[in-house]
């Protein structure tokens, strides 16, 4: 997400948005795994968040961001819909914000990498 977000020639806005969604999904699943809470096969960030709130109630603040990112799990991976530059920038901003909180909750040093 970060690398593709910096590309100036032929950027893949779809890729940026997809990877932002995947990043958030992996952090949600990591927290659930850490809390030994089972979850099904899903890319639905809102459903994962609802389950994770038992462990991290403060993550409710990210509900709108995660709902926005959730749409990029499938729709933009196939022909038909294309993400815009603005959507990609917004996805990066939302992902970074959640990633920072998730890394803190998981005890992982925050980094730009």
| pLDDT over 70 at 111, yes or no | no
| pLDDT over 80 at 24, yes or no | yes
Boundaries of every domain in the chain: 2-105
The matching CATH number, chosen from 1.20.120, 3.40.720, 3.30.70, 3.30.420, for 2-105 is 1.20.120
Average of per-residue pLDDT across 31-44: 95
Residues contacting 32, CB < 8 A, separation 6+: 38, 39, 48, 51, 52, 55
Question: Residue 32 — very low, low, confident or very high, per pLDDT cuts 50/70/90?
Answer: very high
Average of per-residue pLDDT across 49-61: 98
Quick one: which of 87, 95, 91 has its CA closest to 112? Answer: 95
């Amino acid at each position: 997400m970060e690398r593709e977000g910096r590309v100036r020639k032929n950027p893949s806005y779809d890729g940026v948005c997809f990877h932002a969604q995947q990043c958030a999904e992996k952090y949600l699943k990591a927290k659930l795994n850490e809390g030994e809470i089972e979850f099904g096969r899903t890319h639905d960030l809102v459903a994962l968040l609802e389950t994770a709130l038992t462990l991290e109630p403060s993550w409710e603040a990210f509900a709108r961001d995660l709902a926005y990112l959730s749409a990029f799990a499938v729709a933009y991976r196939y022909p038909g819909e294309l993400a815009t530059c603005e959507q990609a920038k917004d996805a990066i901003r939302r992902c970074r914000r959640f990633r920072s909180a998730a890394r803190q909750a998981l005890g992982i040093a925050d980094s730009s990498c």
